[in-house]
Structure 1
Amino acid sequence: MSRSAPAAALGAVAVAALALTGCGTVVAAEPTGSSAAAQITVTDDQGREVVIDGPVERAVVLNSYANEFVRAIGAGDTVVGVDRSSLNRLPYLEITDDEVIAEGLDQINYEAVAALEPDVVVLPRNAVWQEAAEQLEGFGIPVVVATAWDYAVFDDTVDLLGEVFGAEQEADGFQAFADEIQEVVAERVEGLDTVPVYWETAEPYLTVLPGSGFHAIIEAAGGENVFAEAGGGDVQQEITVDPAEVVTRDPAVIVHEYEPAATPTEASAFEATRDELTSRPGWSAIQAVEDDQVYVANGWATSAIAKSIGALYLATWLHPEAFEDVDPDAYLERWVTEFQGTDFAGVDGYISAPGDQG
C-alpha cells in the first residue's frame, strides 16, 4: 500500500481574515512553502467542533465498522494505524501488525499513535474518546468521534467521514447505496404487523436495548424487540438477560450474531450454535423454536453498513411474502466487492438460515 509521507512538524499556521463557520466548512490557509494547507472544521457525533489541518493524508481509525466506512468512501489508503479488532476482523486491510496501536477501544497506546504522525484519529463513542482527546492534545493530533456501528446515525456518520477525508462525492455514492437498501426495507414493511424478535449478540443471553444499533434495525425491519423496555444496559446498550425471560416474552424469530469477521464461518459452527440455542432449557416452547425460525449470522454481513444489510436480512425473515423478490445476498456481495474491494466468499460463510444446515 502506498502511503503519504508524515505531515510536516506541527506548528502554528497563520490564517488571515478567515472564520470557521460550522460543520464541514473547509477554510483555506496561507500557503506554507510550496504547498497550500487547509483547515477542516467538523462537528463530530458528540457535538464537538474539531479542527483538522488538512487534507487528511494519514489517519488512525479505531473500530472495524469505521474502517469499513473509510474504505467505502475511498479513503482506505490514508489509514496508517488501527485497533487489534479491526485487523483481526478485516484481514484485507493493508495494515501490518506494527501498525496496531490499540488492543481494545479502551487500551490505546498514545505514544504509538503519536509516532505515526496522523492528521486525525477517528474512534466511536463507546471508545475512551475523552481520554484520547486529552492525551493527544499535547501532540497536536485531533480526535473525531464517529460511530459507524449505529444504524440510527448512519447518515450523519457518512457525511462526517466524507468531510474529514475530503471525500464528499464518494460519501454520496456510499450513501446512495445504503439509501437503496433502506428504502427497500421501509417500503416493504410499511403497514405490516410487527413480529416479536429476540436478537442475541456474541455471548449467550446478551441481548440489545434501544441505542444499541441492533434495536433500531429490529424496528426498521418491521420487528418488535422483546427486550425493548428492559433498561440498565452497558455502554453499547446491551444487557445479559435471564433465559427464562426469553421464554416468557416468546419471540417469533431468534437471531444470534457472532462478532464480525471477514473470514467465513464454518457450517459446523453455525449448526452447533443453532443446536445450542434450540436445546436451551424451556426454549422448545418458544414460538421461534417451534416454527424453526432461528437464524445465526456472522456480523460481517448483518452488521455491515451500520447494520443496514442486517435490517434487510431480518426484514426478509420476518416478512418473507413481502420480500420474496428481494435478494439480500446480492446487496451483501455488492458491499464486499464494490465498497470493500475484496473477494466475496459466498453467503454461506456469513448467514445460516433454517434449513441451511446439512
Structure 2
Amino acid sequence: MTEHRPLLHAIVIALLLIASGRLPAFAGEEARQVQTPLTVTDIAGREVTVNVPARRLLLGEGRQLYLVASLAPEDPLSHIVAWRNDLIEADPATYAQYLDVFPDLAKLPVFKGQEESLIDIESAVIQKPDAVLLNLEAMRANEDAKYVEKLAAFDIPVLYVDFRHQPLENTEPTIRLLGKIMGREQRAEGIIAFRHKAMAQVTDVIAENKPEPPRVFIERIGGYSQDCCLSFGPENFGKYVELAGGHNIGSDLLPSTFGQLNQQLAKWFHPELFADLDPDATFAEYHRRFLPIDYRPGYAVSLSDDPS
C-alpha cells in the first residue's frame, strides 16, 4: 500500500490544479482558464495591467473585429462584449459576411460615434469588459474627460491601439499586444510574418529597381461621401504610397493624416514591375489562413484611356 501513496498523492495534486484552473484538463480549454494579472505596454507607451487571457473586450472601433477574428477565428465573439457601429456603417458587405458565419453578432451591444470620440461610461461599465480598446487618436479627448481614470475606478483598464495614424510603426505592436492579452501570441506572430512577406513582395522589387516615383492621389472614401477628394497626408495610406514606390500628393498639401484636396489625377504605381503580383491572391490567402470568412474580391475602375 505504501508504494502507491506517491502516485495517489500526485493524482490528487493534479486534480486540485485542474480544479483551481492552474492546469488545463484538456487542450483548448482557454475559456475556462483562470485569469491572472499581466502588465503590458500599450501603443501610447502606458503600462496597463490586464487580467489575461482577456475574454471580454470592448472594441472602441468596430473594425478592430478584423484583428480579433484573425487571432480567434473559431469564435471571435467569445472575446467581445460590445463594439462601435463603424464597421456596420462603413463596411456593410463584410458585416454581412460575419453575420452569416456568426449570427449572434447581431445581438452584440453596439454604440455610436466616430473613432476619436468617447464611449459612454455607463455603457462600458455595464458590459464589465476585461479591457477597453481605443484608437490612439481618441487619447486627447479621453484625457480631457478623465475617461481612463473614471473606468479605472471600476477596475476596467484602457488600452490604446493604432492601425490608422502610424500603421507602419504601430500595426505590429498592436497585433502583438492583442495576441498577448488574448493568449494568442503564437497566432499573432504568424500574422506578423504573413504581413512581412506580403509587403516584401513590393518593397524588395522597388529597392532592386529604384523606379522613378509617380505622383499619386488616393481618394480615401470614394462613394461613402458626396465630398470630393478626401485623401491622406503623410501617414496612413499616404505612407503606404511611399512604401510602394510612389509620391503621395497629399503629403505635400496636408499637414495631418486626413484631409481634403482638389481633384487630381490618380495613377497606378509601376505596373511594369508588378505584372505578376496579384493583390487578390494575397487577400485570399490571408482570409484562408487567418479569418473565419471567405474572401470576396473587390472591384477596380481604370483611369486609363486604354481599355486594355
TM-score, with length taken from structure 1: 0.64
Q: Are 1:120 and 2:128 matched, yes or no? A: no
Query: Following TM superposition, by how much is the alpha carbon of 1:67 offset from its aligned partner in structure 2, in angstroms?
Result: 1.7
Stretches of structure 2 that go unaligned for 5 or more consecutive residues are 1-16, 22-33, 222-226
SS of 1:222's equivalent in the other structure is coil
Q: 1:96 to 1:114 in 2, by over 3 A?
A: farther
Cα offsets for 1:38-79 (capped at 9, x unmatched): 111111111111110222111111224422112112272301
SS of 1:122's equivalent in the other structure is strand
Which residue identity is paired with 1:352? V
Of residues 237, 244, 250, the one that matches 1:227 is 250
Query: Following TM superposition, by how much is the alpha carbon of 1:151 offset from its aligned partner in structure 2, in angstroms?
Result: 2.6
Of residues 210, 215, 233, the one that matches 1:196 is 215
Maintained 8 Å contact 2:41/2:48 = yes
Maintained 8 Å contact 1:58/1:117 = yes
Distance 1:86 1:156 in 2: 22
Query: Following TM superposition, by how much is the alpha carbon of 1:227 offset from its aligned partner in structure 2, in angstroms?
Result: 2.8
Q: 1:98 to 1:73 in 2, by over 3 A?
A: closer
Distance 2:45 2:189 in 1: 22
Query: Following TM superposition, by how much is the alpha carbon of 1:80 offset from its aligned partner in structure 2, in angstroms?
Result: 1.6
Of residues 204, 209, 216, the one that matches 2:233 is 209
Listed as ranges, the matches of 1:228-243 within 5 Å are 228-233=251-256, 237-243=257-263
Distance 1:62 1:337 in 2: 26
Distance 1:354 1:334 in 2: 28
Runs of 4+ deviating beyond 6 Å: none
Maintained 8 Å contact 1:62/1:86 = no
Structure number having the greater helix percentage: 2
Query: Following TM superposition, by how much is the alpha carbon of 1:204 offset from its aligned partner in structure 2, in angstroms?
Result: 1.2
Maintained 8 Å contact 1:66/1:147 = no
Which residue identity is paired with 2:65? N
Query: Following TM superposition, by how much is the alpha carbon of 1:173 offset from its aligned partner in structure 2, in angstroms?
Result: 1.0
Maintained 8 Å contact 2:60/2:119 = no
Query: Following TM superposition, by how much is the alpha carbon of 1:208 offset from its aligned partner in structure 2, in angstroms?
Result: 1.3
Aligned to 1:74: 72
Which residue identity is paired with 2:177? L
Of residues 20, 23, 35, the one that matches 1:34 is 20
Query: Following TM superposition, by how much is the alpha carbon of 1:82 offset from its aligned partner in structure 2, in angstroms?
Result: 0.5
Distance 1:115 1:180 in 2: 42
Query: Following TM superposition, by how much is the alpha carbon of 1:107 offset from its aligned partner in structure 2, in angstroms?
Result: 4.5
Distance 1:103 1:195 in 2: 37
- The structure whose Rg is larger is 2
SS of 1:199's equivalent in the other structure is coil
Query: Following TM superposition, by how much is the alpha carbon of 1:37 offset from its aligned partner in structure 2, in angstroms?
Result: 3.6
Q: How many residues align?
A: 251
Aligned to 1:352: 301
Distance 1:198 1:208 in 2: 9
Listed as ranges, the matches of 1:1-358 within 5 Å are 34-35=20-21, 36-74=34-72, 76=76, 77-88=78-89, 89=91, 90-91=94-95, 92=98, 94=102, 95-96=105-106, 98-105=108-115, 106-127=117-138, 128-130=141-143, 131=145, 132-149=147-164, 150-152=166-168, 153-190=170-207, 191-202=210-221, 203-211=227-235, 213-233=236-256, 237-243=257-263, 246=264, 251=265, 254=266, 293=267, 317-348=268-299, 351-354=300-303
SS of 1:180's equivalent in the other structure is helix
Stretches of structure 1 that go unaligned for 5 or more consecutive residues are 1-30, 255-292, 294-316
Maintained 8 Å contact 1:65/1:148 = no
TM-score, with length taken from structure 2: 0.73
Which residue identity is paired with 1:34? S
Q: RMSD of the TM alignment (CA)? A: 2.5
Distance 2:262 2:114 in 1: 28
SS of 1:41's equivalent in the other structure is strand
Cα offsets for 1:230-278 (capped at 9, x unmatched): 2443xxx2122344xx4xxxx5xx1xxxxxxxxxxxxxxxxxxxxxxxx
Q: 1:230 to 1:347 in 2, by over 3 A?
A: closer
Which residue identity is paired with 1:124? N
Maintained 8 Å contact 1:45/1:146 = yes
Cα offsets for 1:76-119 (capped at 9, x unmatched): 23012110113343411642355113433314222122111110
